[in-house]
Structure 1
């Protein structure tokens, strides 16, 4: 039996990839969040769905999720020679770009319906990523389960925003009051 790397070498490779991927994923997530946020007057004027959590929750949850995602990707990146590693990393990169697009689409462009489609892409592509990660490292796929659950919740929340704010979702401006004097 030929051994390509010792357990210590594999751990060191994972550690190096983690030190690169975790901060990178967190940074890119943070940068996406800067392209639009909930402090806009447009968002503040929307009716909030009953499932809308306290705003402080979002920063905490996304930070934890990005850290888990970073470790998951590091597991795959450090799996040198594993069958399907390259395809899994490419699929993740395509998924991640789509996921990061949601914030600028929803908050920046104020396009709730398009943002829901972006989340649909994010959920479907994440399932594909998880299947590909599963083939390389099962634990890496399992680390993405909370992320998938949150993405599904985000899609449901986005849908609820559309349902409760149909005029804003269609891009219409609220009708202004007209005063008629005789």
Structure 2
């Protein structure tokens, strides 16, 4: 019965992608050759959010799950924060700091989940893989577009 709660938090995080769309600004940036095609982003995030919610549901009732669930809450907060910072405020450096913190948090969460339930831990591996790509992409975009103006405050 906890799955809908974890899924709702994930939907809230995903909603930032609807509010703060990449748009023409992002399309005009120099991007590395390893940039996934546009269609891959909603597909990947849908799978990640579903797996993450299911993994959290698996561990939620287990003894000792408090720290694991705290990491889940931290990662969903960081995940929700990145999109408006990167796409909305166009703060690529701050986006890099957030996504790096998110990557470390998801890695710790994966280890924590794995220690409680190996299936739940394994369900987070696609998230880790995607964050590695996304972090590299954030870094390269930041590095390769140093003079891109931000929107006026």
TM-score (normalised: structure 1): 0.76
Q: Which has the higher contact order (CA 8 A, sep 6+)?
A: 2
Instruction: Give the match for residue 73 of structure 1.
Output: 56
Counterpart of 1:38? 22
- Asked which structure has the greater CA Rg, the reply is 1
Contact between 1:29 and 1:66, CA under 8 Å: does it hold in 2?
no
Taking the aligned partners of 1:165 and 1:127, their CA distance within structure 2 comes to: 28
Q: How large is the RMSD of aligned CA atoms in angstroms?
A: 1.8
**CA shift for structure 1 position 34:** 2.5
Unpaired segments ≥5 residues, structure 1:
1-15, 174-182
Which residue, out of 106, 113, 125, partners 2:105? 125
Query: 2:92 maps to which residue?
Result: 112
User: Which 4+ runs in 1 deviate beyond 6 A?
Assistant: none
Secondary structure in 2 matching 1:162: helix
| In 2, Cα distance between equivalents of 1:34 and 1:172 | 20
Q: CA deviation at 1:172?
A: 7.1
- Which residue is 1:28 aligned to? 12
- 1:49 and 2:29 matched: no
CA distance in 2, matches of 1:140, 1:151: 18
Name whichever of 59-68 and 43-52 sits farther off: 43-52
Q: Distance in 2 between matches of 1:59 and 1:69?
A: 15
Checking the alignment, whether the CA contact within 8 Å between 1:77 and 1:89 is kept in structure 2 is yes
Aligned to 1:154: 134
Which string of whole-angstrom CA distances, capped at 9 and with x for unpartnered residues, describes residues 98-140 of structure 1?
A: 1221111100010111101111000111111112212221211
Decide which moves more: 96-105 or 129-138: 129-138
